[in-house]
Amino acid sequence: MSMYHTKTVTELSAMLQAGEVSSVELTRYFLDRIKNSDDKLNSFITVCEEQALAQARESDEKLKAGNAPALTGVPVAHKDIFCTDGVKTSCGSKMLDNFISPYDATVITNMRKAGVVMLGKTNMDEFAMGSSNETSYYGAVKNPWNLKAVPGGSSGGSASAVAARLAPASTGTDTGGSIRQPAAFCGITGLKPTYGRVSRFGMIAFASSLDQAGPMGQSASDCALLLNAMAGFDEKDSTSIEKSVPDYSADLDEPLAGLKIGLPKEYFDHKEGGMNADVEATVKTALEQYKSMGAELIEIELPNSNLSVPVYYVVAPAECSANLSRFDGVRYGYRCEDPKDLNDLYTRSRGEGFGAEVQRRIMVGAYALSSGYYDAYYLKAQQLRHLISDDFKKAYEKVDVIMAPVTPETAFNIGEKTDDPISMYLSDIFTIAVNLAGIPAMSIPVGFVEGMPVGMQIMGNYFEEAKLLNVAHQYQQQTDWHKQMPEEFK
C-alpha cells in the first residue's frame, strides 16, 4: 500500500520529477483520502475530481517532456476565498453559495503556471471572519487531533486538510492570524508573507490593508516551494509590491550561529490573554533548542502590542463594511425571494445572506466610519497602528527575528466561545500586531500539550521570508514535531 500521504511536498516533487509516481496516481490517492475521511472533518466545501484528474494528466505530459517546474503534478487544496474559473467560490457564505467564478485569482493562476493540481476548495469562516471555523455556512470544521475541537480560523479547512494529510499542502489567507493560528492549532507549518508580496487580485476581500495570502504545509521547505510559486508583482493589484522574488529554497541550509532572536516581554508576561503555562513552557523549550543551535536570545519590548486587538477591531470591521457593500442582491450572489422594492431587496438579501459574525463586523465598521465617529475611531486606530509598526522597526535594529507563542492556549472545543465574541477575538492576541505592521511571520509546530499541538511564531522584518524559512527549517532538521500525524488519519 502506497503511503504517499506521509510524504512532504518536497519529497513528492522529487518522486514526480524522478518518474517514481505519476501525478494521476498521486491525485487519485488524495481524492480517495478526501472521499474516505472528510466526512469526519468537513474540511472541503468543493472537491474538483474531474478537473484535478485532467490537470494531473496534463502534468504527466509535462513531466515526460522534461524540464517541468518543481511543483508540477503536486496536488494542493485552495482556501475557498480565491476565485477559481468555473468552480464555486463561496467564501464560506450563503451569500456566495451559488457563485461560479468567471476568472482565476492571481494566486491560482501562479500556482497553475507552477504545475500544481487543484484537489478542491477548503472550508473557512464566512468571509474569513472568525478564529475557529465555526462561522462557515457549511458548518464547523473539526480538528484532526481531536474531533471535538476547532481547527482555528479562518483558514481552518486548509489547516485541517493538511494536518489529516488529505492534501499535501494548501493555500490560506491571514488578516489577523488566519494562517498562523489554525497552523498552530493543527500542528502544521504556515507562513503569512509581507503585505504586498503575494497578489490579492481575485482573493475576496475582507480588510484590504491587512489581508495577505500564504502557504500552509507540513514543513518550512514545503512552504518555501509554494511561496516560490505564489509570490510576485501583479499589476492587477494596486497593493502588490514591485520587487523580484528570491528563491525561497536557496538559503534553507544556512547555519543559525549568531542569529539574534528577540523575545518580546509583552508576549511572555501576558496575563489577561489567559496564557496557558504549559503552552508557554513548550515554546520556551523550543527557544532553548535554538540556543543550542547557536542563536542568541535577547529580551525586547513591543510596548504598543497591547493596543493591537482594539486597533484591529476598528480597522478590520471598517474595511469589511466597505468591501462587503458590493454584496447587495443585485449583481451576483444570494437574492431574497419576491422583494417589495429596492430597499427590501438590499436589506433582506444582506440580512438572509450574511451570518451573525459578518453582520456584527459590518455594523461595528459602519459605526466607526460614520460621520462624527470617523476621527474618534478609525483615524485614531490608524495613528496607533503606526506606533505598533514603529515598535517592530526599532526591534529589528537589534535582532534578526522575533519569536513568541502563536496563541495563548491550544485548540478549544467547538461551541466553547461562540457566545462570547470578545473571548474569541482574544485568541488572536499574539498574531494581530503582525498584520497591522505588514511584516512576515510564520507558525511552526513545537510540541504538544495534553495531546494537542502547540505552535511557535517567528516574525521577521519586511520581505525577509527567506530568513524565516531558513530559521524554521533548521529547527525542523533537529526535531520531528512537524512529522507527527493524528492517529485517526494515519
Q: Active-site residue 292, yes or no?
A: no
Q: Active-site residue 154, yes or no?
A: yes
79, 94, 142, 192: the catalytic one is 79
DSSP code per residue over 353-375: HS-HHHHHHHHHHHHHHSTTTTI
Check: CB of residue 1 under 8 Å from CB of residue 39: no
- In degrees, rounded to 5, the angle at the alpha carbon of residue 8 between the alpha carbons of residues 6 and 10 is 150
Residue position matching grid coordinates 503534478: 73
37, 43, 101, 154: the catalytic one is 154
13, 178, 249, 308: the catalytic one is 178
Q: Active-site residue 79, yes or no?
A: yes
Active site members: 79, 154, 178
